[in-house]
Amino acid sequence: GNSVTQMEGPVTLSEEAFLTINCTYTATGYPSLFWYVQYPGEGLQLLLKATKADDKGSNKGFEATYRKETTSFHLEKGSVQVSDSAVYFCALSEWSGTYKYIFGTGTRLKVLA
């Protein structure tokens, strides 16, 4: 079945450091891919998405490129801020008679001033 694997956390970085959070997926067809962010005490909210191969999603300085050849959707940011501290979830959605979202386990990011 479909699945999403993302790197274990927590990830601890200093402010202005470069961030990469790895995400790989397995799917039978052509899924849409998403990154969601969860700030403390809140629900998830969309960070960015990509719906076909080679698409790049971007938002708030974060970027991720849909790589079909490596089945990956890694999240990157050039310079993190303390306010980026949160849990990040990679997810996919695919239609196969019905559609369901599948989430990764989440990666906690802590940015130190």
Partner 1 sequence: EAQVTQNPRYLITVTGKKLTVTCSQNMNHEYMSWYRQDPGLGLRQIYYSMNVEVTDKGDVPEGYKVSRKEKRNFPLILESPSPNQTSLYFCASSLQGAKNIQYFGAGTRLSVL
Are the C-beta atoms of residues 6 and 20 closer than 8 Å to each other? no
Q: Which of 12, 51, 59, 83 binds partner 1 (CB under 8 A)?
A: 51
Closest CA to 44 of 86, 80, 72: 86
Q: Is 57 exposed, middle or buried (0-12, 13-18, 19+ CB in 10 A)?
A: buried
Which one among 42, 69, 70, 113 touches partner 1, defined by CB under 8 A? 42
Residue from 19, 21, 23, 34 binding partner 1 (CB under 8 A) = 34
99 binds partner 1 (CB under 8 A): yes
Question: What's the closest the beta carbon of residue 68 comes to partner 1, in angstroms?
Answer: 15
Assess contact for 13 and 109: CB atoms under 8 A: yes
What residues make contact with partner 1 under the rule CB under 8 A? 31-32, 34, 36, 41-46, 49, 51, 89, 93-95, 98-106
